[in-house]
A and B are shown apart, each in its own frame.
Chain A
Amino acid sequence: MTTDTQTRTRSFVQALNEALDLCMDAYPEMFMLGEDIGVMGGDFGVTRRLFQKYGAERVRDTPLSEAAIVGTCVGAAMVGMRPVAEIMFADFLGECFDQLVNNAAKVHYMFDGQFKAPLVVRTACGGGFGGGPHHSQSVEGWFLNVPGLVVVAPSTPADAKGLLIASIEDDNPVLFLEHKALYSKKGDVPEGMYRTPLREADVARQGSDVTLVATMRMTTEALAAAETLADDGIDVEVVDLRTIRPYDVDTIVESVNKTHRAVVAIEAPKMGGLAAELSATISEECFGVLDKPVVRVAGLDAPIPFSMVLEKYVLPGRDDIVSAIRSM
C-alpha cells in the first residue's frame, strides 16, 4: 500500500464505496451496473449515493439478468470502457458463468491480444448469517481453473479499498469477492486514491512456528486463532492471500520455509477447492522442509444450510484452526 495520507476508521462497505466513488470521478470510461445499485445503493449499500452523484447513465439498474450484466461488461470493456458490475450474491454467478469463463477470461487470449477485458465483477459471497443454500456460498473454487480471470478477495477495509481501486485500474477481468461477514467490519482506511497491489499476499501476522494461509473471513478467524495459540506458546504467521488467482506463491513458500509447518484455512468445502490447491503447492514447493503434512481447515462437504445451528456446524471457524494447529 502506497500512501502518506491520513487514515480514518471506516467499515468495509464504506471503504468499497470510497473506492468506487474515487474511480468514478477519475475515470469517465467507468460505469457501474447491477440489480438495485441505483437509488437503493445496492443490497448491502456498497454503491450508496453514487447514483445521486453520477446519474442513471453511469450507475445503471438492470433487470435480473446476470448473463446480460456481465456480457454488457465484456462488450463495453472490449471497446475501451471500464465497467464494474455488481452481482448481488456470488451464488448467482452460475447465471453468468459463461460470460465470465468463456468471454471475460478468454477474449484477450483467443483473439490473440486484439481485445482487452478490463472489467470488475463485484459480488457478495460467504456464509455466517443464515442466508441458506443460495445466499451463502464461497465460490472461488469454481473459478480456480479459469486462466485469464483474476480473483481478488480482501479481508480488511483498507485492502478492500486498495484492491478495488487496483482491480478497476487493471486491464484484466477481475472477479472481486466481498465476504458478507466482513461488510460491517471496521478498520483504518487511508484517504484518497491508493492501490493495494494485485497478486501480492500480505503477511497479516508475523510468526515463527506455523504458517496459516487464509482468505476473507477466514483471515479474521486465523488472526483470532493465532492470539489464542499465542497463549499456548505457539507463534503463528498468518498469510492473507488477497489475490486468489493468480496467487502469490513466493510469499507462502518463503513463510513455510521459515516455519516448516503449514495450515490453510478456507471457508469453502475442502474437496477440489482453494484449500486443496494451496496444500498441493506447499507440498510440492516445500516438501523438503515440512515437519508435518499440510493441514486443510475447510468447510464440510455439504451445501450451506439455513438454520444457524446447522450452518455453524458446516462452516469452519477459529476453533477448528486452533484444534488443527494444536494437533500438528
Chain B
Amino acid sequence: MAVHVDTMLGLYRDMWMIRAFEQGLEREFSKGNVPGMLHTGLGQEATQAALAAHLDATDAFFPDHRCHGINALAEERHAGTGRRIMAELFGRATGVCSGKGGSLHSANPKVGNFGDNAVEGSYMATVLGVALAYQLRGEPGVACCIIGDGTVGRGEFHESLNMAKIWNLPILYACVNNGYAISTPVAEAHASGDIVDMAAGYGITCRQIDGNEIDTAYLAVADAVAQIRAGNGPVFLEFKTWRWQGIFSGEFRPAEEVAYWKNQRDPIKLAASSLLATGEVTQDELDVIEAEAKDEIEGWIGFAMDSPMPDPEKATANVYVGWEIEAR
C-alpha cells in the first residue's frame, strides 16, 4: 500500500459516503421519493473518491451522471455538508440549484462543481473554455472533465482532446470506463476497447489504471494534477472499473461477471483488505467508519425529505440575466 494509512482511512470513509449516498438514494427512488431517473456510482467509489480528494474549490470539475458522490464530497469538503446535493436530487428548494437541475444538472461553483450535463460529452467542449480562462489569466486552476466510456463516441470528445493539446490547456480528462454505455459493451462501440489509445493518438499524456484500487487511483490523480498545475498541458486518465447498476429493466450481464466484480473487485472490500493487512487498523475501526457514513447520509436524506418543495413561480426565474419573462 503506497498511500499512508491515515490517508487511506480517509479515502475509505469517502468511499463509504459515496456508497451510502447511492444506496440510500436507490432506496428512496424505489419508494417514489426521488423524481426522474437514477444513475448511481455504485462500484465506482474508488475512482470518485480519488478524484474528489485532489480537486480544490478553485478548480472546476464537470461531473458525469454517476457522480453524485463526487458532488457530495466536494460540498462536504468545501461547504461543510453534502446535504444540499441530496436535496437537489429530491427536487427541493434547498438543493444546490433550488430543484431546477436534479441529478443530471447539479452544480455549485463555490465548491468547484461546474455541473453535469445530460447530453453526455457536451461539457467536453465547455471544459475547454474554463481551462482557457485559467490559462489566459495565469491562474493555477485545473479543469477536470469526468466522462464515461460511452462519451468517447461523441464528436466533442475528439474536438476537445485535439484543442486541449494544441492549446496546452490545464485539463484533467478522467474517463471512467465501466465496460458499458447503458447496454452496449465498450468493445462493440469503439475502435479501441482501451480508450487511452485514443488520447495517445492526440499526443496527450495518458495512463490506464485500475479504477477499483483506491491507492492506485489516488496516486495517479495526484500525479496528473501536479503535472497539469506545472503547466505541462492536459492529462488523460482511463479508470478501468465496473458499475454495479444494471439497466433500467434489471441486470443484463453474465452472472459470473457480476459475481466477480461485486465479490472480488469491490473497491471498498479491496481497500479494507489492504488496511487490515497493515496491522495498524482493526475491523472494528472500519465498522465504525461505515456506520458513521451511513448515519451521516441518513441525516442528509432526512434533510432532503423535510425540505420544502420550490415555489412553482420560481420556474420562470433566471431564464435571462436581468430580464423577467412572462409568468403563467
Contact = CB atoms under 8 A, between A and B. Distances in A.
B125 A111 contact: no
A111 to B, nearest CB: 4
B105 interface: yes
A110 B125 contact: no
Given A102-B122, A111-B107, A68 B128 contact: yes
Interface residues of B, number: 43
A114 B108 contact: yes
A296 interface: no
B234 to A, nearest CB: 13
Contacts of B108: 114
B129 A77 contact: yes
A116 B321 contact: yes
A315 interface: no
A189 B269 CA distance: 72
Contact of A71 (B125, B166, B322): B125
Given A57-B136, A65-B163, A109 B318 contact: yes
B317 A112 contact: yes
B319 A63 contact: no
A248 interface: no
A31 B156 CA distance: 22
Interface string B87-124: 00000000001101100010111000011010100111
Interface in A196-217: 199
Interface in B288-316: none
Contacts of A108: 318-321
B274 interface: no
Nearest to A74: B126
Interface string A162-195: 0000000011100000000000000000000000
Nearest to A149: B320
A108 B108 CA distance: 12
Interface residues of A, number: 45
A70 B122 CA distance: 11
A58 B320 CA distance: 27
B144 interface: no
B162 interface: yes
B122 A99 contact: yes
A246 interface: yes
A51 to B, nearest CB: 16
A99 B98 contact: no
A79 B130 contact: yes
A81 interface: yes
Given A63-B166, A72-B125, 16 more contacts: A31-B136, A65-B163, A68-B163, A71-B123, A71-B156, A72-B126, A75-B123, A75-B127, A75-B133, A76-B132, A78-B129, A98-B119, A102-B122, A111-B105, A113-B317, A113-B318
Interface of A: 31, 57-58, 62-63, 65, 67-68, 70-81, 83, 96, 98-99, 102-103, 107-116, 118, 147-148, 150, 170-172, 199, 246
Interface of B: 60, 97-98, 100-101, 105, 107-109, 114-115, 117, 119, 122-134, 136, 143, 155-156, 159-160, 162-163, 166, 317-323, 325
24 contacts: A58-B136, A67-B156, A68-B163, A72-B129, A74-B125, A74-B126, A75-B123, A75-B129, A75-B130, A76-B129, A81-B129, A81-B133, A98-B122, A99-B122, A102-B117, A103-B123, A108-B318, A108-B319, A110-B115, A111-B107, A114-B107, A148-B320, A150-B320, A172-B321
The 4 closest A-B pairs by CB, nearest first: A71-B125, A75-B129, A76-B129, A68-B159
